[in-house]
């Protein structure tokens, strides 16, 4: 469906529900959770969130912590995953409501606090829909089963003669109906069926899933009332800005706070304890300035005089480290994948090609820098934070305060972007330590410079790919060596990637080459490494797709044809043996349920080349690049069109994305994620890099950590969603990995320059 049709379809859908589309009071479903509390009891913006205890004590039907049906008919659905722009609050609750048979106009969505009662709340790995699709349906189906049982009991009929839809239970033979509200109290007295015993609806009965759905927080986003972590205010609160060490392992030797304390509004200066390796989610040490407002705290920090003991990382230089990684992939590593005899086949090959690819450190830079608010009172702690991982936040806070986790409440606000940064609870640790020490509520505000210089960086990497071609040019051997400091190094001492890292685009790479070898090479960590949207898939997809393009050009053939040839025939790989590996974490899902489906990968490649008129590109004088990748159990192919502007800059003027993510709940948010992935991938491909000298990050703000701006965005991003009933795959991340190689390949088509090192701005004017 084209974008235009999509928009018309959405209007029709809303019109059918008799909703005001233009107004900001969309009646589709309401949300009071992340807008302000009613002003009467408010002392500042603070979102109303839900805890399991609160739901359980409300009268009505409470079969589980996710669904509540009140006697007045209001259905409350708890969203237990964090909203960071992926549209989860406009997706998961719809699924539950559809299973229940609720009328969306009488559904309210509230955000869950961090509590193990909700199960896993970690909002990462593109895992919310794909990981718990059936579990979430069961929560709604359980409530429906109990409402039906209550109605059947009252009518003295068999439950299987009744059904729930549109907020009522209907007795089919007599057409009698009872509203959900009328049944709520009686239903609450019914035995709660075991989750495995409840029957899920056939997919066709899910009324809203897969249809154009409105954005629940849209109105609050555009009128300024949406409450992000940065917006929370408590009475008597002080704002803290922290001078953190700029080098990993550096400590405060001594400091003088007298000038800082002389600034009007500055109340306290507190030294944070230095963290000990492994750093994990610990606070980062340094000196905090607490003040009545953010401006005073910032001025206070600037007035601190600190002498740092720089430690052993003061000699670290990322440019030299790049050379170290390069040397690492030029020597054999630990073999993690082996099919046939790659070394033998390379030795016998008619032609051997190899190429080395580099991607730098990257920072997350969500538009809302890390921020958190907390208060500690009488042995309990309350936290408001834009966290992707509220239970980790709770654990970290409990540990830092020496409290049992039950005494810590974490309220999840809206997240002003996250991309993996806000899974890490270092800023939570900071805020609770400062609150405890100061004895008043504290808000920690990171500046953009703090964020750029103290991130958990996306790992710097080197890839070396080697291919053996036979006389006809066919690829008969494939060797992939990869080196990057893994995320695990932030949590324990390790010095090379493992199976869990190489599963992202190396071990699960569905190529049909008879001889394959993949090796993990040494890479010691010197900075905090963390997961960034799409993680290792970024550099693995970049190198693999670039290399295929190189092979095609060397053979004088079409990249699409060579890509399909390297992938081999359409097939479904369901065993690790076929992949030549011992194990595949497979994003937490069994390989039988989510195989490496080469047919689907081929499908998105064929579709995207069709939509972009790939075959006509030379005739039409267009420079296109193609790339495709499986990640987070979804399949995405991208074609990028690159042009040279009159000012000599190379830019992306159009992009096509085809995504096969299996079943999708909210197609418009899927589309939005793909559009965003193109822009995010463009930043990686063209503009962004973090470098370190003297152990410290050289960039500081958007001036030198460059992101895509609107004038650089493509004129058009076409998104095509493959219709599918397959089990859902991820959406937030899989769009990103193919973008950079598609652009790099298009740049080659346009300029003849093969860029093997990102960002492209190092090689060309962009």
Per CB under 8 A, the list member of 368, 426, 549, 550 interacting with other proteins is: 368
Environment class of 38 (CB within 10 Å of its CB; exposed 0-12, middle 13-18, buried 19+): exposed
The nearest distance, CB 539 to other proteins, in angstroms, is: 20
Q: What is the DSSP letter of 126?
A: T
Contact between 397 and other proteins (CB under 8 A)? no
Subset of residues 43 to 62 that bind other proteins, contact rule: CB under 8 A: 44-45
- Give the sheet arrangement for strand 623-631, strand by strand: 623-631, 634-644, 650-660, 716-721
Q: Which is nearer to other proteins, 237 or 469 (CB)?
A: 237
| 356, β-bridge pairs | 464
Contact between 366 and other proteins (CB under 8 A)? yes
- Residue pair 277/287 in contact (Cβ under 8 Å)? The answer is no
Task: Please tell me whether residue 623 adopts helix, strand or coil conformation.
Answer: strand
The four Cα atoms 509, 513, 515, 519 give a dihedral, to 10 degrees, of -20
Binding segment for other proteins (CB under 8 A), chosen from 506-514, 567-575, 643-651, 664-672, is 664-672
Contact between 572 and other proteins (CB under 8 A)? no
Per CB under 8 A, the list member of 16, 18, 22, 307 interacting with other proteins is: 22
Per CB under 8 A, the list member of 84, 506, 507, 511 interacting with other proteins is: 84
Contact between 266 and other proteins (CB under 8 A)? no
Distance CA 682, CA 625 (A): 13
DSSP secondary structure string, 232-281? ---TT-EEEEEE--SBTT-EEEEEE-HHHHTSTTEEEEEEEPPP-SS-TT
Subset of residues 519 to 558 that bind other proteins, contact rule: CB under 8 A: none
C-alpha closest to that of 216 among 54, 85, 390, 74: 85
The nearest distance, CB 676 to other proteins, in angstroms, is: 4
- Residue pair 216/208 in contact (Cβ under 8 Å)? The answer is no
The nearest distance, CB 293 to other proteins, in angstroms, is: 4
Binding segment for other proteins (CB under 8 A), chosen from 63-71, 292-300, 306-314, 604-612, is 292-300
Contact between 85 and other proteins (CB under 8 A)? yes
Q: Which is nearer to other proteins, 579 or 739 (CB)?
A: 739
The nearest distance, CB 224 to other proteins, in angstroms, is: 2
Q: Which is nearer to other proteins, 251 or 448 (CB)?
A: 448
Buried b (16+ CB within 10 A) or exposed e, 265-302: bbbbbbebebbeeebbbbbbbbbbbbbeebebbbbbbe
Q: How far is CA 515 from CA 161, 543, 601, 645, in A?
A: 60, 18, 20, 43
Contact between 235 and other proteins (CB under 8 A)? no
Per CB under 8 A, the list member of 154, 271, 676, 754 interacting with other proteins is: 676
The phi-psi region of residue 541 (left if phi > 0; otherwise alpha if psi is between -120 and 50; otherwise beta) is: alpha
Subset of residues 175 to 234 that bind other proteins, contact rule: CB under 8 A: 214-215, 217-228, 230-231, 233
Q: Which is nearer to other proteins, 458 or 602 (CB)?
A: 458
Subset of residues 707 to 726 that bind other proteins, contact rule: CB under 8 A: 707-711, 713-714, 716-717
Contact between 701 and other proteins (CB under 8 A)? yes
What are the helix (H) ranges across 312-389? 318-328, 342-348
Per CB under 8 A, the list member of 64, 239, 429, 459 interacting with other proteins is: 239
Q: Which is nearer to other proteins, 384 or 748 (CB)?
A: 384
- Residue pair 741/669 in contact (Cβ under 8 Å)? The answer is no
The nearest distance, CB 318 to other proteins, in angstroms, is: 23
Site size with other proteins, rule: CB under 8 A:
79
The nearest distance, CB 531 to other proteins, in angstroms, is: 16
How many H helices and E strands in the chain?
A: 20, 29
Per CB under 8 A, the list member of 367, 439, 557, 618 interacting with other proteins is: 367
C-alpha closest to that of 194 among 231, 154, 141: 141
- Residue pair 111/412 in contact (Cβ under 8 Å)? The answer is yes
Task: Please tell me whether residue 555 adopts helix, strand or coil conformation.
Answer: helix
Query: In sequence order, what are the residues at sequence separation of 6 or more whose Cβ sits closer than 8 angstroms to the Cβ of residue 692?
Result: 316, 317, 318, 361, 526, 527, 698
Q: Which is nearer to other proteins, 82 or 545 (CB)?
A: 82
Q: What is the DSSP letter of 454?
A: S
Distance CA 30, CA 216 (A): 7
The nearest distance, CB 680 to other proteins, in angstroms, is: 5
Subset of residues 722 to 751 that bind other proteins, contact rule: CB under 8 A: none
The nearest distance, CB 43 to other proteins, in angstroms, is: 9
Subset of residues 401 to 430 that bind other proteins, contact rule: CB under 8 A: 414-419
Query: In sequence order, what are the residues at sequence separation of 6 or more whose Cβ sits closer than 8 angstroms to the Cβ of residue 414?
Result: 34, 47, 83, 84, 217, 226, 227, 228, 229, 386
Binding segment for other proteins (CB under 8 A), chosen from 98-106, 198-206, 286-294, 607-615, is 286-294
Q: Which is nearer to other proteins, 226 or 469 (CB)?
A: 226
The nearest distance, CB 703 to other proteins, in angstroms, is: 6
Per CB under 8 A, the list member of 49, 111, 145, 445 interacting with other proteins is: 445
The nearest distance, CB 302 to other proteins, in angstroms, is: 12
The nearest distance, CB 490 to other proteins, in angstroms, is: 22
Query: In sequence order, what are the residues at sequence separation of 6 or more whose Cβ sits closer than 8 angstroms to the Cβ of residue 633?
Result: 130, 586, 587, 589, 594, 662, 727, 729, 730
Q: Which is nearer to other proteins, 309 or 654 (CB)?
A: 654
Subset of residues 98 to 137 that bind other proteins, contact rule: CB under 8 A: none
Contact between 23 and other proteins (CB under 8 A)? yes
Contact between 387 and other proteins (CB under 8 A)? no
Q: At what angle do helices 598-611 and 559-567 cross, to 10 degrees?
A: 170
Contact between 661 and other proteins (CB under 8 A)? no
Subset of residues 678 to 697 that bind other proteins, contact rule: CB under 8 A: 678-680
Q: At what angle do helices 739-751 and 537-555 cross, to 10 degrees?
A: 30
Contact between 302 and other proteins (CB under 8 A)? no
Binding segment for other proteins (CB under 8 A), chosen from 359-367, 431-439, 479-487, 567-575, is 359-367
Binding segment for other proteins (CB under 8 A), chosen from 326-334, 474-482, 629-637, 667-675, is 667-675
- Residue pair 612/624 in contact (Cβ under 8 Å)? The answer is yes
C-alpha closest to that of 354 among 326, 319, 323: 326
Subset of residues 451 to 510 that bind other proteins, contact rule: CB under 8 A: none
Contact between 41 and other proteins (CB under 8 A)? no
The nearest distance, CB 266 to other proteins, in angstroms, is: 12
| 337, β-bridge pairs | 518
Per CB under 8 A, the list member of 50, 62, 86, 490 interacting with other proteins is: 86
């Amino acid at each position: 469906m084209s974008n235009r049709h999509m928009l018309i379809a959405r209007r029709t859908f809303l019109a059918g529900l008799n909703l005001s589309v233009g107004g900001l009071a969309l009646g589709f479903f309401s949300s009071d959770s992340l807008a302000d509390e009613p002003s009467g009891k408010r002392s500042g913006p603070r979102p109303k969130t839900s805890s399991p205890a609160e739901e359980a004590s409300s009268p009505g039907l409470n079969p589980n912590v996710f669904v509540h049906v009140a006697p007045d008919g209001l259905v409350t659905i708890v969203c237990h995953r964090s909203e960071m722009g992926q549209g989860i609050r406009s997706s998961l609750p719809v699924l539950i409501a559809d299973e229940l048979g609720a009328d969306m106009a009488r559904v309210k969505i509230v955000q869950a606090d961090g509590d193990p009662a909700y199960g896993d709340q970690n909002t990462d790995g593109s895992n919310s829909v794909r990981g718990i699709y059936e579990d979430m349906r069961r929560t709604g189906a359980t409530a429906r089963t109990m409402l039906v049982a209550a109605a059947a009991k009252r009518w003295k009929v068999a439950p299987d003669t009744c059904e729930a839809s549109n907020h009522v239970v209907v007795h089919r033979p007599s057409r009698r109906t009872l509203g959900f509200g009328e049944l709520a109290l009686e239903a609450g007295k019914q035995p709660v069926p075991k989750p495995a015993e409840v029957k899920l609806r056939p997919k066709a009965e899910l009324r809203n899933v897969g249809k154009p759905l409105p954005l629940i927080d849209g109105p609050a986003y555009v009128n300024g009332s949406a409450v992000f972590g940065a917006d929370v205010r408590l009475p008597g609160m002080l704002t803290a800005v922290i001078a953190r060490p700029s080098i990993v392992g550096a400590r405060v030797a001594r400091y003088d706070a007298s000038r800082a304390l002389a600034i009007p509004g500055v109340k306290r200066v507190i030294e944070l304890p230095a963290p000990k390796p492994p750093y994990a989610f610990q606070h980062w040490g340094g000196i905090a300035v607490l003040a009545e407002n953010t401006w005073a705290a910032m001025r206070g920090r600037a007035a601190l005089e600190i002498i740092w003991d720089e430690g052993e990382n003061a000699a670290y230089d990322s440019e030299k480290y790049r050379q170290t990684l390069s040397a690492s992939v030029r020597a054999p590593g630990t073999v993690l994948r082996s099919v046939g005899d790659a070394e033998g086949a390379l030795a016998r090959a008619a032609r051997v090609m190899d190429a080395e690819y580099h991607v730098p450190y990257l920072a997350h830079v969500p538009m809302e820098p890390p921020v958190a608010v907390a208060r500690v009172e009488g042995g309990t702690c309350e936290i408001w934070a834009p966290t992707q991982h509220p239970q980790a936040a709770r654990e970290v806070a409990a540990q830092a305060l020496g409290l049992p986790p039950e005494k810590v409440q974490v309220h999840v606000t809206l997240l002003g972007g996250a991309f993996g940064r806000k899974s890490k609870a270092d800023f939570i640790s900071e805020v609770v330590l400062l609150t405890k020490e100061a004895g008043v509520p504290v808000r920690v505000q990171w500046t953009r410079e703090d964020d750029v210089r103290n991130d958990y960086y996306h790992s710097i990497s080197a890839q070396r790919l080697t291919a053996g071609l036979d006389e006809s040019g066919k690829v008969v051997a494939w060797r992939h060596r990869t080196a990057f400091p893994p995320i695990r190094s932030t949590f324990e001492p390790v010095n090379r990637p493992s199976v869990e890292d190489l599963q992202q685009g190396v071990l699960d790479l569905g190529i049909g080459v008879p001889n394959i070898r993949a090796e993990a090479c040494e890479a010691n960590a010197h900075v905090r490494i963390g997961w960034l949207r799409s993680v290792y898939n970024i550099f693995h997809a970049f190198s693999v797709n670039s290399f295929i393009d190189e092979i095609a050009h060397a053979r004088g053939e079409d990249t699409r044809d060579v890509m399909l040839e390297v992938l081999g025939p359409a097939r479904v790989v369901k065993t690790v043996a076929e992949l030549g590996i011992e194990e595949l974490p497979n994003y937490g899902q069994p390989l039988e349920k989510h195989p490496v489906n080469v047919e689907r990968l081929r499908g998105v490649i064929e579709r995207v080349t069709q939509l972009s008129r790939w075959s006509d590109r030379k005739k039409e004088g267009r420079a296109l690049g193609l790339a495709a990748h499986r990640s987070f159990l979804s399949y995405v192919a991208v074609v990028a069109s690159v042009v040279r502007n009159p000012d000599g800059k190379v830019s992306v003027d159009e992009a096509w994305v085809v995504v096969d993510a299996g079943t999708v709940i909210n197609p418009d948010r899927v589309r939005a994620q793909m559009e965003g992935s193109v822009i995010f991938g463009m930043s990686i491909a063209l503009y962004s890099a973090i470098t370190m000298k003297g152990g410290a990050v050289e960039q500081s703000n958007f001036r030198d950590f460059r992101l895509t701006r609107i004038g650089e965005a493509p004129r058009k991003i076409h998104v095509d969603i493959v219709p599918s009933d397959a089990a859902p795959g991820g959406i937030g991340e899989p769009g990103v990995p193919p973008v950079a190689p598609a652009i790099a390949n298009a740049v080659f088509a346009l300029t003849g320059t093969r860029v093997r090192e990102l960002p492209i701005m190092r090689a060309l004017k962009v």
